[in-house]
Structure 1
Amino acid sequence: MFAIINGTLLTMSGPPIFQGTVLVEQGKIIQVGQNLPLAGRVDVIDAAGKLVLPGLIDAHSHVGIAEEVYQIEGDDTNETTAPVTAHLRAIDAVNPADLGFQDALAGGVTTVVTGPGSANVIAGEMVTMKTYGAVVDDMVIRFPAGLKCALGENPKRVYGSHNKMPATRMATAALLRQTLVEAQNYLAKQEKARAEKTVPERSLQMEALLRVLKREVPLRVHAHRADDIMTAVRIAREFNVELIVEHCTEGHLIAPVLADAGVKAVVGPIITNRAKVELMNRSLETAMALYKSGVPFALMTDHPVVPIQYLSLSAGLAVKGGLPEEEALKAITINAAKLLGIDHRVGSLQPGKDADIIIVDRPIFDPNHRVERVFVGGRQVIGN
């Protein structure tokens, strides 16, 4: 058991607690408050003059899959041999030894979503995991965390350049629809087999899609341009699936529409240039526009596009674009956890949650801030 005392607690579940205490036992937060009695054998960490907050959450990255050092050997981001690969699982490609995990911890990021890239119309299943550990299976919080799909420039560039489908946006949408219809047909066959008490033939591709059709996991669609975002909305409505728009670069242009559609978004990367045509209207004001319209959103680095340790800096730039500081902090803590369906475990300093805690010397939107200590599951992994 240990206690972090005298710090300013940014719990993300209520107002700041000044000179507060967080009590941790067996990897869980057991008490949060002021003037808590510390009876018995309790190790004490004095955080006077510091800020204490939950570990940060990067809601979209490729950490562990796109290793920076090993450009070929360690890059398992895109399976560019077929446009539909729903049966691929990110969990099978993550290397816990990727230096990106060390960078994440140094930046106070204790939870990430990682997964395949956006070359394919349907790329595979993503995973939500802690950033500390030696074995992937022990780091997982939620798997699958969603089925990654992509619209826009990437699939048509990758396959169209080889004279394969999809070479147009129409074909990309058609492939996604066709595959979802195939999954509906597969589900009907499965139900018929169960009714007839026979053993149906399995398809790993279809099983991944069934999890989406049954709304067990969201369809997480890479889309930058407003028209591509609306294609994702259209298809989600047709098949009654939960939709999370990844990147949502032009979301500020259609924010009220997205709110009416009940769409969620993961915005970013923010620290980037107009590297391709569909980023032409990138703006620091996207997060603010979504917030004003009531669209639930989180922020991302898209690591290694933006190094994962710059997640807080990315949120700070969203503040520069008009997003209130509290909302920017929520977008990388509790609101990110809610969007990912893991807020019962992480995202705030509350009793019963994992003791994923960071201690910083000043507000994290200050580029000079220093992450002094990081705890993951109650274990100190940064600091001494």
Structure 2
Amino acid sequence: MHTAARLAALSLALGAAGIIAPAAAHAQVVIPTAAQSQPVALKGATIHTVTKGTITNGTIVMDRGKIIAIGGADTEVPRGAKVVDVAGKHIYPGLIDAYSTVGISEIGAVDMSNDVNERGDFNPNVRPEVAVNAESRHIGTTRNAGVLVAFATPGGGVISGLSSAISLEGWTWEEMSMKGAAALNVNWPDPNARPRGPFGGPPGGPGGRAGQPAPKTYAEQVEAIRGFFAEARAYRDALKSKQSVRTDSRYAAMIPALNGEIPVVVAAEGVAQINDAITWGKEEGVKLVIRGGRDAIHVAPRLKAEQIPVILTSTMSAPPREDDGYDGAYSSPAALYKAGVKFAIAGDGNALYSYRLPWDAGVAVAFGLPEEEALKAVTINAAEFMGVSDKVGSLEVGKEATLLITTGTPLDMTSNIIQSYIQGREIDMNDIQKQFFKKYMEKINQQKKKIAS
């Protein structure tokens, strides 16, 4: 029996046995929407373009996945368009998570469902988009919170690979892919960390093992990064001069970063880390972005002067040091804004919590960041830093029709996202959390009826 036939027979058997009811099984399936087939006009909402102001009683027209018109109530609507009345609602661009593992990480305790970390220190050729699981349950919960674009980011090692921009809708990774090589990721070593042996302690000491190689010092780790970039640059220059060289996928993946075509995102938290990373980035001549940025405010004058943006992570985290204020992370975005540093806000890279991105930005508003700046931090700023601002990040003619229809700002958890569109597709707003909510509300209702009877 063919696989499809076996699966069909199994489904029928389970349904007949009462293990799954056909209606329940159907309710738990989220089916990707087909590509936009006719123009759609959304009329009557307050449109928050992010880059070109706010339009009251506005109209936005989408066709073939793009925004073709945006303006007031008198905006021309194409003949044959589907007109949707959204009076009293708000329209925002889809939010962007600049640091995510959605689609490449599913269940923490199940290794084979996680495809984030590769073995080895230098893996610049890792491109996570090819490992994206379009069936991931995290995709539904993330996009229903307003996050419609994510940068799938590998981890581990020193150079962990390339971030891939993906739209959170599609049957396959190819359909979801927006930009496969969006940024090169470097994990900067910590100068304050004590050198550790391979078993958690110094070689030959407690927790270590005699005969193991000595751990690298901070200086040696930095020199290894410089050395790898130098080798990649030599490889690039050899190709330019048409020398005969053996193909090396790792060095080839570095070329766009070396040429300044994509940014180098350096994960750095402390003052020394950030300063050393900036110095190194200037020496290498790369387009630098700092990710993490716990102590970025203490380096703010230099970040501003050298126009280096920051992707802030974990704005809802606890203070890392005993003498830090309780609101250190919450107020960091407002402090950077006042200091003139450009920044985006991202989550902590955990796929399970990517849906919290709007509230990562919302808490910054509660602690002093202007709301319009918080919105930029999860839309146009993230798009600009990661090289996709020509496609997403704001509502403009010619950009992808990736947007939200809401009852209020998506940064406030009391607002509801009524409907989302990704590249003009009216997406299914179902997700696993909603399914479980309905399931257990039904349980409560059944118990109430039982008690009443």
User: Normalized against structure 2, the TM-score is what?
Assistant: 0.77
Q: Give, in whole Å, the separation in 1 of the partners of 2:359 and 2:378.
A: 11
Per the alignment, residue 278 of structure 2 pairs with: 233
Cα distance in 2 between the residues matched to 1:3 and 1:45 = 6
Whether 1:136 and 2:173 are equivalent positions in the alignment is: yes
Q: Give me the CA root mean square deviation.
A: 2.5
Moved more, 340-349 or 33-42: 33-42
The answer to whether 1:169 aligns with 2:218 is: yes
Instruction: Pick the aligned partner of 2:106 from 67, 76, 85.
Output: 67
d(CA) in 2 for partners of 1:243 and 1:164?
33
1: CA distance between counterparts of 2:412 and 2:348? 21
Match of 2:378 among 332, 346, 356: 332
Hey, which bits of structure 1, 4+ residues long, moved more than 6 A? 154-159
Residue 230 of structure 1 aligns with an amino acid whose one-letter code is N
The alpha carbon displacement at 1:187 in A equals: 2.6
Indicate yes or no: 2:193 matched with 1:150.
no
Which of 133, 153, 157 is 1:120 aligned to? 157
The one-letter amino acid of 1:66's match is S
**Cα distance, 1:3 vs structure 2:** 0.9
Taking the TM superposition and a 5 Å limit, the aligned residue runs for 1:89-100 are 89-100=127-138
- Offset at 1:124? 0.9
Deviation at 1:147, TM superposition (A): 1.0
Look up the SS of the partner of 2:51 in the other structure.
Answer: coil
- How far does residue 213 in structure 1 lie from its aligned partner after superposition? 1.3
Amino acid at match of 1:372: I
- Deviation of 1:158 (Å): 11
CA contact (8 A) 1:269 1:306 kept: no
Counterpart contact for 1:121–1:175, Cα < 8 Å: no
In 2 relative to 1, CA 290–4 (structure 1 residues): closer, same or farther, beyond 3 Å?
A: same
Q: State the alpha-carbon separation in 1 of the partners of residues 349 and 277 from structure 2.
A: 23
Corresponding residue for 2:209?
Answer: none
2:185, 2:311 → 1: CA distance?
Answer: 13
Within the candidate set 224, 227, 247, 1:202 is matched to 247
Asked if the contact 2:406–2:418 (Cα under 8 Å) also holds between the matched residues in 1, the reply is yes
Contact 1:157 1:167 in 2 (8 A): no
Deviates more, 1:329-338 or 1:296-305: 296-305
How far apart, CA to CA, are the structure 1 residues paired with 2:125 and 2:319? 32
Partner in structure 2 of residue 31 of structure 1: 69
Asked if 1 retains the 8 angstrom alpha-carbon contact of 2:125 and 2:161, the reply is yes
Paired with 1:156 and 1:100, the residues of 2 have a C-alpha distance of 34
Query: Could you tell me how far 1:371 is from its partner in structure 2?
Result: 0.9
How far is 1:106 from its partner? Answer: 0.7
3-state SS, counterpart of residue 73 of structure 1? helix
Displacement of 1:95 in angstroms is: 1.5
1-side partners of 2:192 and 2:249: how far apart?
22
1:378 equivalent in alignment to 2:424: yes
Contact 1:285–1:322 (CA<8 Å) still a contact in 2? yes
In structure 2, relative to structure 1, the CA distance for the partners of 1:317 and 1:257 (3 Å cut) is same
Bigger radius of gyration, 1 or 2?
A: 2
The one-letter code of the counterpart of 1:301 is G
Matching of residue 257 in structure 1 with residue 302 in structure 2: yes
Please report how far the alpha carbon of residue 120 of structure 1 lies from its aligned counterpart in structure 2 after TM superposition. Answer: 1.1
1:347 to 385, 393, 400: 393
1:295 and 2:344 correspond: no
| Aligned position for 1:322 | 368
Q: Distance in 2 between matches of 1:155 and 1:68?
A: 32
Could you say if the C-alpha distance between residues 59 and 42 of structure 1 is closer, same or farther in structure 2, counting changes exceeding 3 Å? same
Task: State the aligned residue count.
Answer: 377
Letter in structure 2 aligned against 1:318 = A
Q: Which residue of 2 aligns with 1:9?
A: 47
Are residues 1:269 and 2:314 paired?
Answer: yes
1:51 is aligned to 90
More displaced 10-residue stretch of structure 1: 334-343 or 302-311: 302-311
Distance 1:161 1:116 in 2: 22
Structure 2 letter corresponding to 1:353: K
Aligned 8 A contact 1:156 1:168 in 2: no
Q: Aligned in 2, Cα 1:175/1:156: closer, same or farther, shift over 3 Å?
A: farther
How many Å apart are 1:69 and its aligned residue?
6.0
Aligned counterpart for 1:108 among listed residues 121, 142, 146: 146
Q: Is residue 263–residue 386 contact of structure 2 (8 Å, CA) maintained in 1?
A: no
Overall identity of the aligned pairs, in %: 29
Distance 1:155 1:5 in 2: 56
What secondary structure is seen at the aligned counterpart in 1 of 2:171?
A: coil
Q: Give how far 1:258 is off.
A: 0.9
Unaligned runs of 5+ in 1: none
CA distance in 2 between partners of 1:312 and 1:75 (Å): 24
Equivalence for 2:232: 183
